[in-house]
A and B are shown apart, each in its own frame.
Chain A
Amino acid sequence: MAWKRSDETPGYNPSEPAPAPRPTPAPSFSSTTTSSEPPRRTSGDRATIGPSIFIKGDLTGDEDLVIEGRVEGKVDLKQNNVTVGPDGKVKADVFGRVVTIEGEVDGNVFAQEQAVLRKSGAIRGNITAPRVVLEDGSRFKGTIDMEPKERHGGGFQSSGANRPSSAGSSTSTDAGKTSESPAGVNRPAQAG
């Protein structure tokens, strides 16, 4: 399993019978996942992909997501916030409400509200967002597509409904492949 819902019990084992249905879309896992460390739990309704996790495939869901590991494919959480942590390495298009990049992204970033590239972050790709924040020292190569002010409020077409209540939120993967990656190998590479 790539990561756990933040409201799951500490001893949750994916091999055990599935928990009772939830009011919001249940997580869907189409592949097996191995990890050398348990998925991290964070406060609030936020899932974390730990530094030892490598996911190849598409990620969708309804809760905020922090990526500390590696993802290849597509990250599609248009109604939620996505953060690529300092050790995160994403080779994918990233869709989110507020997308914050502290690690490395090789792909396009689409943010409904705001895209933030932190000092430690690097993006090789295009950013589409009504508001873009680039911290000095960050590395960026690509195009920033900024909506005119009068058109703010929807930088791209949203496929989801209104943001669900936090109590029933969930995050899921639709991963094609997953594999284990040793912790500590996902350091951001120096962008050219």
Chain B
Amino acid sequence: MSWLSSLRGTGSRKEPAAKGSGSQTQTAEDAPEIHRSLALPAVFAALSRGQRLNVLDLGAALGSNVERLSEYGCRLDIEDLYASKSAAAEGGSLGPEFFAEFLAPAEGRQFDLVLAWDLFNYLDRKELASLGSRLRQFCRPGALIFALVSYHKTIPAQPIRFRFVDQDQDQLIYERRTTVERPGPRFAPAEFNELLRGFRVDRSFLLRHGIQEYLFMREGS
């Protein structure tokens, strides 16, 4: 079963998502498809700390997300990982040199928050280790990575687009752009200790539909 189909099959309702405890994903006729997140409140808590944060969005540039983040007065770097990866190689694994070029922020820039969305699912282990190495270099201690990892055998062939929902801090609208499926990497939780060295799992939530939400935190002081 695909990620999305399983998402749709869990907690589907014919009305907009209602707030409440627990995690679920809902669909409704004539209503946006909602992914309820348990990790997202921590992201907004970080944004609300009052400091001016450096945020790295590894997804596509989405106006609604930029608008939402603008409320926090942050510095937002948008680096569309999937688009860059697709442009660099078709099907082949990319090495550290790609990620060195891909993630080259301004001198002295240290990120406080990384929005990885579901993009780790579109990297192989070697690529994720290379990306992790760059993130380790450019994230300050205490920085958070927000990621959604699928444990399904197959995932959508292209990343899902996630959007913040108005003022909600625990919901995301998701948009699937293709019905084509591809194999998913199915990272085991313990693998991240090696692939994202320098980061530890700060919070992790296994949702009912086979998605695990992670908040990784950059170690150090």
Using CB atoms and an 8 Å cutoff, list the residues of chain A in contact with chain B.
Answer: 131-136, 138-149, 151, 192
Contact = CB atoms under 8 A, between A and B. Distances in A.
A136 B61 CA distance: 7
Nearest to A123: B61
Contact of A146 (B75, B80, B87): B75
Contacts of A139: 61
A134 to B, nearest CB: 4
Nearest to B72: A148
Contacts of B106: 143
A146 B84 contact: no
B67 interface: yes
B92 interface: no
22 contacts: A132-B66, A132-B67, A132-B70, A133-B63, A135-B63, A136-B63, A138-B61, A139-B61, A140-B61, A141-B79, A142-B78, A144-B66, A144-B70, A144-B76, A144-B77, A146-B72, A146-B73, A146-B75, A146-B76, A148-B73, A149-B73, A192-B87
A145 B54 CA distance: 9
Residue of A133, A135, A139, A144 with most chain B CB atoms under a 10 A cut-off? A144
B82 to A, nearest CB: 13
A146 B69 contact: yes
Nearest to A116: B63
Contacts of B67: 132-133
A69 B180 CA distance: 41
Interface string B72-98: 111111111000100100000000000
Contacts of A149: 71, 73
Interface string B23-63: 00000000000000000000000000000100000000111
B62 A136 contact: yes
Contacts of A133: 63, 66-67
A131 B80 CA distance: 21
A139 B84 CA distance: 12
A141 B102 CA distance: 11
A151 B72 CA distance: 11
B61 A143 contact: no
A144 B78 contact: yes
Given A131-B70, A149-B71, 5 more contacts: A143-B77, A146-B69, A146-B72, A147-B73, A151-B73
A143 B69 CA distance: 13
A140 B70 contact: no
A138 B75 CA distance: 19
A93 to B, nearest CB: 15
A90 to B, nearest CB: 19
9 interchain residue pairs of minimum CB distance:
A148-B73, A134-B63, A144-B76, A140-B61, A146-B70, A143-B77, A134-B66, A145-B75, A134-B61
